[in-house]
């Protein structure tokens, strides 16, 4: 708990000095993944859909689903 509070205090004290520099580096505007990776949007949808299905398959095969009470 003390670590959480210490981190929150440090974050609060340094926010005004640190945030503008980070914001300048990471501000890409309104960009989406297909534009960032320069690929077809439908290929992006297909890739993420396949990743989700693969994840669900592994969760099912490993028995990690919620157990009945």
pLDDT of the chain, 69 residues: tens digit per residue: 999 999 999 999 999 998 888 888 877 788 899 998 899 999 999 999 999 999 999 988 887 777 776
pTM of the model: 0.54
Q: What is the CA radius of gyration of the chain?
A: 21
Residue partners of 36: CB distance under 8 A and separation at least 6: 28
The dihedral built from the CA positions of residue 43, 45, 46 and 50, taken in this order, carries a sign that is positive
């Amino acid at each position: 708990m003390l670590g959480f509070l210490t981190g929150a205090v440090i974050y609060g004290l340094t926010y005004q000095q640190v945030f503008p520099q980070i914001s300048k580096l990471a501000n890409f505007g309104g960009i989406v993944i297909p534009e960032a990776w320069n690929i077809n949007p439908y290929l992006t949808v297909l890739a993420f859909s396949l990743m989700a299905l693969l994840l669900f398959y592994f969760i099912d095969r490993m028995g990690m689903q919620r157990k009945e009470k």
